[in-house]
Structure 1
Amino acid sequence: MLLVSCSASPSGGKALDAEGSQSSGTVGNTHAKVGQTWYFALPVPHNISGKSIEITGASVVDPPKGLKVLGYAAYNVNDTEGLPLLALGGESDTPDFAHLKDYAKSEVKVSPKKQSDIFFQAKIRITSPPRKNIEHCQFQYRQGGQEFTQILDCEMELKVS
């Protein structure tokens, strides 16, 4: 499955919960360094509608200058022993993502009125001191044979010390 940012969707969706805990705060680190790779968890999909959805993509909207998105993946929270909101690559407490199943290789189904056990993640490298924060994430999904795009708040701040 290709996880890219696009706006080819015919309409904005409303099936995902836009008020979840990840949509109401900022995760970050104030001691980041240029060249580091960080893993940023996008909001966990919570289907608040009465119909199942199949997520076909997830991405960061307009990454700021200084942050380069290296790729996207999706993991089961049980495989990562919880939700790693922001993790530094190479650290002992960071899950070994390279050896975990990437669920983004196929559609991620979310039942009605349920939160997914699968979370999407962006792998990000700091190329220069970021000019601003990541503020929004975009999900593409199918529901009832129709394609939707929905943008959610998801703020991440990396300050280079």
Structure 2
Amino acid sequence: MEQEGRPAAAGSALATDGTQSSGIVGNEHTRVGEIWHFALPVPYNTSSKAIEITDVAIEHIPSGLEVLEYGAYHLNDTEGLPVLAKEGGPHTPEFAKLKNYVAKPVKVPAGKESDIFYLARVQITAPPKETARKCRFEYEQSGQEYTQTLDCELELRVSK
């Protein structure tokens, strides 16, 4: 969605010190074929102007993991942030039955945390050799497009 002649600038509106940016989430007892839901850092707009998030992605996906899709869900619908949840698990929200906001830009007011969080649906295709990391957010603010990468890290180990 880059405008002609105006590439996305490096953004700084999103807080870089959130809960998920200070460590690794993971599970050491997974199996090939399982699907896991990994929450990206909840967007917190520290700037003085609203932003609209237009896209998200995990930048580094190691071999053995495949991102099936990204979703965007309201925190109230999931009763809080499911940082890491196994699909079909007893405490995993039924994302397929929830409203998914991923198709439209998500507005985050100035100085506020978003009520909408992004989630990656990840399948284990082989024992991963390393972690998935770096969550990229693309957003618009005052007509300019920005991209900003936040720390995030997911480690899924296949048990022997």
State the TM-score, normalizing by the size of structure 1: 0.94
- Which whole-Å CA distance do the structure 2 matches of 1:10 and 1:80 have between them? 32
- Which whole-Å CA distance do the structure 1 matches of 2:89 and 2:34 have between them? 11
Alignment coverage as a number of residue pairs: 155
In the alignment, which residue of structure 2 is the partner of 1:132? 130
Amino acid at match of 1:18: T
Matched ranges for 1:61-140 at <5 A: 61-140=59-138
Structure 1 segments (4+ residues) deviating >2 Å = none
Displacement after TM superposition at 1:10 (Å): 2.6
In the alignment, which residue of structure 1 is the partner of 2:150? 152
Alignment check: 8 A CA contact 1:18 1:153 kept: yes
Amino acid at match of 2:27: N
Partner SS, residue 10 of structure 2: coil
- Which whole-Å CA distance do the structure 2 matches of 1:157 and 1:48 have between them? 28
List gaps (5 residues or longer) in structure 1: 3-7
Amino acid at match of 1:30: E
In the alignment, which residue of structure 1 is the partner of 2:51? 53
Q: Percent identity, aligned pairs only? A: 54
Alignment check: 8 A CA contact 1:29 1:159 kept: yes
- Which whole-Å CA distance do the structure 2 matches of 1:19 and 1:53 have between them? 18
Partner SS, residue 78 of structure 1: helix
In the alignment, which residue of structure 2 is the partner of 1:5? none
Amino acid at match of 1:51: K
Partner SS, residue 79 of structure 1: helix
State the TM-score, normalizing by the size of structure 2: 0.94
In the alignment, which residue of structure 1 is the partner of 2:28? 30
In the alignment, which residue of structure 2 is the partner of 1:141? 139
Q: Deviations over 1:26-49 (max 9, x none)?
A: 110000110000000000000000
Amino acid at match of 1:75: Y
Q: Deviations over 1:107-154 (max 9, x none)?
A: 100000100010000000000000100120000000000000000000
CA spacing shift, 1:58–1:66, aligned 2, 3 Å: same
RMSD of aligned residue pairs (Cα, Å): 1.3
Instruction: Specify the structure having the higher radius of gyration (Cα).
Output: 2
- Which whole-Å CA distance do the structure 2 matches of 1:65 and 1:9 have between them? 30
Alignment check: 8 A CA contact 1:9 1:149 kept: no
1:17 aligns with 2:46: no
Displacement after TM superposition at 1:9 (Å): 4.3
